[in-house]
């Protein structure tokens, strides 16, 4: 009663910001914490009868686990590295011809922490030390530790506010990137000398919309320090050295001055420069003997160049054309020597774990909604398959499932939808689990997951709506759903939901079906789903939202919130009236009204620095206050994590989300 009274009083005192009291940047306000804990208890009480269903799902997922195909080793500086699934967290090991060592034991390092994330790791040139970036809070600040691999002892630690960038310049020097206080913006590249305990600032970015990072080139000698915003980049070259002592700032070379809307990314091999850039309009591959002089285009794809890999004798790219991903190999002069289609019905492939430019093979990861993951080695000269090894799952046969890629016609475009179902389990009232994201040009790959199979085995249809704003059809598809075009992605999702509500296969009865639609969205996907629910609440039976970005207008108007100024191009700039009007039209929190909202399970992390916990708290509080339906609106705040959590906890949460949604349907057995 006390918490309800506080909430009501706050609404009456400030009706224009009725839920603002839930924001606490310190994460220590006792009233706010009490409210969140009370909401957790309310949710726990509602979900308690579903615990047995949650356990059943977890047991099913565990029982499916069979033999995993061996993951390719990473070849680096005379050693081969791999992360092994030993214990709850795993261990990073390495081996050469003489021995095998444990490099990082995540189980031990996470032992005393409720939350643990290994953000990055990098081994020194002499192979004796490993730098690791760890987070034990849940925000985007990492602690950097330098560990002696042989003894396991920590040599030194950097306890400030750091991103997870780690690049060794010499055996005693490592480049790290400091985060800006409060905003978590990576803004300053610093060279730390672990022997003398001194530091030198290499580069500092003053523009609040730009982010700093660094990486080492394929020759393992050239270091690129980079600053970029959403559509422009600038880079500086620095040579790594076996010995420290040179003036690193004097050794920095500007590649090319920043130019609005021009991006470039440099790689180096055998003394020659290769550059991926859109300086000619579309992304292409260029080459140069002197990177500061003229660049010569050698590969100019007709589609969108999404990824590339530089090897001793080949350049391999991923090119996207209208949702089809091609893996194409070229010689170093730009002549195409092979082209493979990585896209089939509701499946996908991509380059992965390729670290040795001298290798004669290239590793490709493939999978689909009903196709178990596989590692395939291709001959880098010809593109022909050398070997392929797929995961084997218990009690699973691909032949039992139908995977499709369909299109939903809407507003003059065709929205791709990846889906999977079982013909023998599909009925006229089988529900549809509909997932969406639609932001940052990210392509939501149709991954194989035992979790999805467990839904399909119960008779559900699982579908992914590849709406505008995502990258499924390339850059034009992304541009059509970002910023002032955000409403397109939301309307795409609503259109897909409407079609899937009436989805039926050719052999099914001719009568009109009316399926329950259960929506799933995380982070930016939460924006998509929540906004679609505002538009058509009765179209959805329920939704599960994880760390949803739902208070778009308020967050993008507050420059003190992390990453706000870097996100204007993606979500809109509220300082511009036209863009503010668009944001006001789709921002989920600002468009909640008195209507019949479906059942909702909303999750957040207290220490989330990307999507603050109070967005989910404000959103669910307003839904509860205004909804005219008698449905559950549950808020669960993880008080020990941030934007993500560890795999074990994430699986438990996912199982409960599925149990919650299944309980709303005819599959609630």
Mean pLDDT per 10-residue segment, the chain (669 residues): 40 56 96 98 98 97 92 95 91 92 95 94 97 96 97 94 97 97 95 94 96 97 96 94 68 95 97 97 97 97 96 96 92 97 86 96 96 97 96 95 95 96 93 98 94 97 98 95 97 98 76 93 98 98 98 94 90 96 97 98 96 97 97 97 91 98 88
User: How many Cβ atoms are within 10 Å of 154's Cβ, its own excluded?
Assistant: 11
SS3 667: coil
Tell me: do 465 and 589 sit in the same domain.
yes
Name which of 395, 384, 391 is nearest 367 in CA terms.
391
Predicted local confidence at residue 11, as pLDDT: 40
Tell me: do 429 and 382 sit in the same domain.
no
513 lies in some domain:
yes
Tell me: do 316 and 373 sit in the same domain.
yes
Asked if 401 and 472 touch (Cβ cutoff 8 Å), the reply is no
Tell me: do 506 and 590 sit in the same domain.
yes
Asked if 258 and 226 touch (Cβ cutoff 8 Å), the reply is no
Predicted local confidence at residue 669, as pLDDT: 60
Tell me: do 570 and 660 sit in the same domain.
yes
Asked if 540 and 518 touch (Cβ cutoff 8 Å), the reply is yes
Predicted local confidence at residue 396, as pLDDT: 95
Distance, CA of 383 to CA of 444 (rounded, Å) = 25
Decide which of 389, 420, 437 is a domain's last residue: 389
Any long-range contacts for 106-112 (C-beta under 8 Å, 24+ apart)? 109/134, 110/646
Tell me: do 367 and 420 sit in the same domain.
no
491 lies in some domain:
yes
Distance, CA of 489 to CA of 476 (rounded, Å) = 13
260 lies in some domain:
no
Residue linked to tokens 């075009």? 485
5 lies in some domain:
no
Which range of residues forms the domain containing residue 182? 80-126+136-253
The enclosing domain of 427 has a CATH number of 3.40.50.1820
CA 131 to chain centre: 23
Residue linked to tokens 């689909």? 368
Asked if 96 and 149 touch (Cβ cutoff 8 Å), the reply is no
The enclosing domain of 313 has a CATH number of 2.40.128.630
Tell me: do 516 and 653 sit in the same domain.
yes
Identify the burial level of 591 via C-beta atoms within 10 angstroms of its C-beta, where 0-12 means exposed, 13-18 middle and 19 or more buried.
middle
User: How many Cβ atoms are within 10 Å of 378's Cβ, its own excluded?
Assistant: 23
Decide which of 389, 418, 441 is a domain's last residue: 389
Tell me: do 93 and 193 sit in the same domain.
yes
For the residues of 238-296, what is the DSSP string, one character each?
EE--SS--S-HHHH-EE-S---TT--EEEEEETTEEEEEE-TTSS-EEEEESSTTS--E
Q: What's the alpha-carbon Rg for the chain, to the nearest Å?
A: 25
Tell me: do 319 and 223 sit in the same domain.
no
pTM of the model: 0.93
Tell me: do 349 and 423 sit in the same domain.
no
656 lies in some domain:
yes
Query: 452: which strand partners?
Result: none
Tell me: do 432 and 358 sit in the same domain.
no
For the residues of 187-222, what is the DSSP string, one character each?
EEEEEEETTTTEEEEEEE---TT-EEEEEE-TTSSE
Distance, CA of 273 to CA of 289 (rounded, Å) = 6
Tell me: do 96 and 52 sit in the same domain.
no
Decide which of 358, 389, 420 is a domain's last residue: 389
Per-position b or e across 474-510, b if 16+ CB within 10 A of its CB: bbebbebbbbeebebbbbbbbbbbebbbebbeeeeee
68 lies in some domain:
no
Predicted local confidence at residue 509, as pLDDT: 60
285 lies in some domain:
no
Q: Strand 284-288 and strand 304-310: pairing?
A: unpaired
280 lies in some domain:
no
Asked if 485 and 479 touch (Cβ cutoff 8 Å), the reply is yes
The enclosing domain of 96 has a CATH number of 2.130.10.120
Number of domains within the chain? 3
């Amino acid at each position: 009663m006390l918490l309800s009274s506080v909430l009501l009083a706050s609404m009456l005192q400030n009706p224009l910001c009725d839920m603002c009291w839930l924001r606490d940047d310190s994460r220590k306000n006792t009233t706010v914490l009490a409210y969140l804990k009370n909401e957790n208890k309310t949710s726990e009480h509602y979900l308690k009868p579903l615990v047995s269903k949650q356990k059943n799902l977890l047991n099913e997922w565990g029982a499916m686990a069979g033999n995993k195909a061996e993951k390719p080793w990473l070849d680096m500086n005379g050693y081969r590295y791999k992360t092994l699934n030993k214990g709850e967290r795993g261990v990073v090991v390495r081996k050469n011809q003489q021995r095998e060592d444990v490099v990082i034991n995540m189980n031990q390092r996470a032992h005393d922490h409720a939350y643990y994330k290994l953000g990055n790791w990098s081994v020194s040139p002499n192979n004796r030390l490993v730098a690791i970036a760890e987070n034990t809070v849940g925000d985007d600040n990492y602690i950097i530790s330098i560990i002696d691999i042989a003894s396991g002892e920590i040599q030194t630690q950097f306890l400030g506010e750091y991103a997870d960038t780690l690049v060794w310049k010499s055996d005693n020097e490592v480049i790290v990137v400091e985060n800006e206080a409060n905003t978590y913006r990576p803004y300053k590249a610093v060279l730390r000398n672990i022997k003398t305990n001194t530091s030198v600032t290499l580069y500092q970015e003053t523009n609040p919309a730009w982010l700093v990072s660094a990486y080492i080139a394929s020759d393992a000698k050239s270091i690129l320090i980079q600053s970029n915003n959403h559509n422009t980049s600038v880079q500086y070259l620095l040579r790594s050295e076996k010995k420290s002592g040179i003036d690193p700032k004097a050794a920095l070379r500007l590649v090319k001055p920043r130019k609005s809307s021009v991006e470039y990314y440099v790689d180096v091999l055998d003394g020659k420069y290769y550059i991926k850039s859109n300086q000619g309009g579309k992304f292409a591959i260029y080459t140069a003997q002197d990177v500061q002089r003229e660049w010569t285009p050698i590969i100019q794809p007709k589609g969108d160049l999404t990824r590339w890999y530089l090897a001793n004798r080949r350049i391999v790219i991923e090119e996207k054309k209208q949702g089809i991903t091609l893996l194409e190999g070229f010689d170093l002069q730009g002549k195409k020597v092979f082209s493979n289609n990585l896209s089939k019905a509701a499946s996908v492939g991509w380059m992965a774990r390729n670290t040795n430019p001298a290798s004669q093979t290239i590793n490709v990861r493939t999978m689909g909604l009903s196709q178990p993951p596989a590692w395939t080695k291709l001959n880098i000269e010809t593109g022909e398959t050398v070997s392929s090894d797929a995961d084997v799952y218990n009690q699973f046969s691909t032949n039992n499932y139908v995977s499709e890629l369909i299109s939903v016609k809407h507003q003059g475009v065709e929205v791709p939808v990846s889906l999977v179902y079982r013909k023998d389990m599909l009925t006229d009232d089988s529900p549809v689990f509909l997932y969406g994201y639609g932001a940052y040009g990210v392509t939501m790959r149709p991954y194989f997951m035992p979790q999805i199979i467990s839904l399909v085995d119960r008779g559900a249809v699982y579908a992914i709506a590849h709406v505008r704003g995502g990258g499924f059809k390339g850059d034009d598809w992304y541009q059509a759903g970002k910023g002032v075009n955000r409403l397109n992605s939301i309307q795409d999702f609503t259109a897909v939901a409407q079609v899937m509500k009436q989805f039926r296969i050719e052999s099914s009865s001719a009568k009109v079906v009316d399926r329950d639609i259960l929506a799933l969205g995380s982070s930016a996907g939460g924006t998509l789903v929540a906004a679609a629910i505002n538009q058509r609440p009765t179209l959805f039976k329920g939704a599960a939202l994880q760390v949803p970005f739902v208070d778009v207008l308020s967050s993008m108007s507050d420059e003190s919130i992390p990453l706000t100024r870097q996100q204007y191009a993606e979500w809109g700039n509220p300082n511009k009236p036209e863009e503010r009007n668009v944001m006001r039209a789709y921002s989920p929190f600002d468009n909640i009204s008195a209507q019949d909202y479906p059942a909702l399970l909303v999750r957040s992390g207290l220490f989330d620095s990307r999507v603050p916990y109070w967005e989910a708290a404000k959103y669910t509080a307003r839904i509860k206050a205004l909804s005219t339906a008698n449905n559950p609106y549950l808020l669960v705040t993880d008080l020990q994590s941030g934007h993500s959590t560890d795999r074990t906890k994430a699986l438990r949460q996912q199982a409960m989300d599925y149990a919650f949604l299944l309980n709303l349907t005819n599959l609630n057995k």
